[in-house]
Structure 1
Amino acid sequence: MDLALFDFDHTITDRDTFSAFLKANIPPRRLRWGGLLLAPLVFGYYRLKVVPAHVLRAAVVRVGLSGLERQAFAEAAERYARDTLPGFVRPQALERIRWHLQRGDTVVVVSASIDLYLRRWCRQHGVALICSQLGHRRGRFTGRYRGHDCCGEHKARRVLKRYRLADYGAVHAYGDSAEDHAMLALAHHRTYRWQPMAA
């Protein structure tokens, strides 16, 4: 039995599901003033490439979600996972996940996206989940993560904390960005943007 590790956004899916979810569910007024407040970071990430993705995500969580009611978002996340995510999933990725499952492999989604909607999707497809979790207190979001944003070295650390790699015949990893490099480095078989990488 092997271990298969899959990034989610832009690997299993063809887009950033985290941004799409927040844009659809953050109140419009907050979305407008938050967009103005975060414009320099957005410009630095998309245009100048000097702002790391995890810095932008943390700022979006802080500005966009602080104080909002968690239960309403959890219900929206269930609908998003059921109705919207299936349209974002790459057929190639789903086929590869099913291939691993049919072999009896342990399949894990390892993502910087959030548990609110990923948990339902992973449960539906019979795969395990390691991901970012939003902090909350007394039913409202704190605007921070519980623990670390699950990206970069934190992906690899969390995989190693949960799984003993020596227990598996081989490790497969699938990713698409620099945030996946540490996870890919754990694997015997590496796929980057759906192309094989040298081990």
Structure 2
Amino acid sequence: MDLAIFELDHTLICDDSHNLWLHWLISQGYASSDELSHYRLHALPAQNSVAGGQFSPQSAAHYSDYLARAFVPMSGLSCPTVANWVQRFIHRDIMPRVYPQAREKLEWHRARGDEILIVSASGEHLVKPVARRLGAQAGIGLKAGVSNQRFSGVVEGHLMFHQGRLDRLKLWLETCKPDAYQQIFAYSHTLYDQPLLEFADVSTVINPGEALQNIAAEKGWHSQHWPRYPHLQQTAC
């Protein structure tokens, strides 16, 4: 049996799930537009800051702060309440943005009998339900602190991108699936996933930028272009 690992944002879907979630919270009146403007100022550094796969501690601290601030709107809310919100959010904002080619690739892996894991820097309160909706066996993302079945508004555990994502994957493999897989497939659009792509046996970059495309060509990784279909451009993307 093999494992297929898919990055969620800009790989399975044509957008960023974390930013979509913030917009959804505002659209429903659960957060203010002023908060969203603040979060945008703390967003992920541009990928050109990790050219060659080098990712600075300053960038990690910057993004960790961004994610921590973005969990604040959920602080004090019950897990069942947020779970209900997430189901509505997935139906409205995630499923219409899934690339048709991503659906085909997911089905290809299911037909082979592979297990599917979806990974994202977004919180697991989003990633795990999205994974279930897409027919994946598991999803891992950033862990939000929970106390007495309520969100604490803080971040716990590994930062879920670059080396932190690979560290979390290795921990997941050791804990859940030791020696279960013959080979690992990985799909991602981002230079931040270079450690993960190097770890996998079969790697594919999706809609890569120039820097990632150059690395893929050098390392012999597959490269695919998954276009945004016209009807998606007009609606979701």
What is the TM-score when the length of structure 2 is the normalising length?
0.70
Deviates more, 1:65-74 or 1:178-187: 65-74
Q: What are the superposed Cα offsets for residues 166-199 of structure 1, whole Å, 9 maximum, x if unpaired?
A: 6433221111113312211111211112568325
The corresponding residue for 1:80 is 89
| Separation in structure 1 between the aligned mates of residue 84 and residue 188 of structure 2, nearest angstrom | 29
**Cα 1:40/1:16, change in 2 over 3 Å:** closer
Q: CA deviation at 1:45?
A: 4.2
Question: Does the 8 Å contact 1:38/1:60 carry over to 2?
Answer: yes
The one of 48, 59, 64 equivalent to 2:69 is 59
Q: Does structure 1 residue 138 correspond to structure 2 residue 148?
A: yes
Match in the other structure for 2:168: 158
Query: In structure 1, how many angstroms separate the alpha carbons of the residues matched to 2:13 and 2:200?
Result: 21
Q: Residue 109 of structure 1: CA displacement?
A: 0.6
CA 1:29 to 1:187, structure 2 compared with 1: closer, same or farther past 3 Å? closer
C-alpha deviation, 1:73, in angstroms: 2.0
Q: In structure 2, what residue type is equivalent to 1:182?
A: P
Q: 1:184 to 1:55 in 2, by over 3 A?
A: farther
1:72–1:29 Cα change, 3 Å? closer
In the other structure, the counterpart of 1:184 is: 197
Partner of 1:118: 127
Letter aligned with residue 183 of structure 1: L
Contact 1:135 1:141 in 2 (8 A): yes
What residue number does 1:41 align with? 42
- CA contact 2:20–2:93 (8 Å) conserved in 1: no
1:52-99 CA-to-partner distances (Å, cap 9, x unmatched) read 54442233224x333444433221101122343210101111111110
Listed as ranges, the gaps of 5+ residues in structure 2 are 50-57, 222-237
Aligned length: 196
* Structure 1 unaligned blocks of 5 or more: none
The whole-number CA distance in structure 1 between the counterparts of 2:16 and 2:162 is 17
Taking a change above 3 Å as real, the CA distance of residues 37 and 8 of structure 1, as seen in their structure-2 partners, is: closer
Amino acid at match of 2:32: L
Cα RMSD between the aligned structures? Answer: 2.9
Shift of residue 13 of structure 1?
A: 0.3
Q: Supply the distance in 2 between the matched residues of 1:152 and 1:90 (Cα, whole angstroms).
A: 23
Residue number in structure 1 paired with 2:5: 5
Secondary structure at the counterpart of residue 185 of structure 1: helix
Identity %: 25
CA distance in 2: counterparts of 1:92 and 1:173, whole angstroms? 15
Contact 2:42 2:63 in 1 (8 A): no
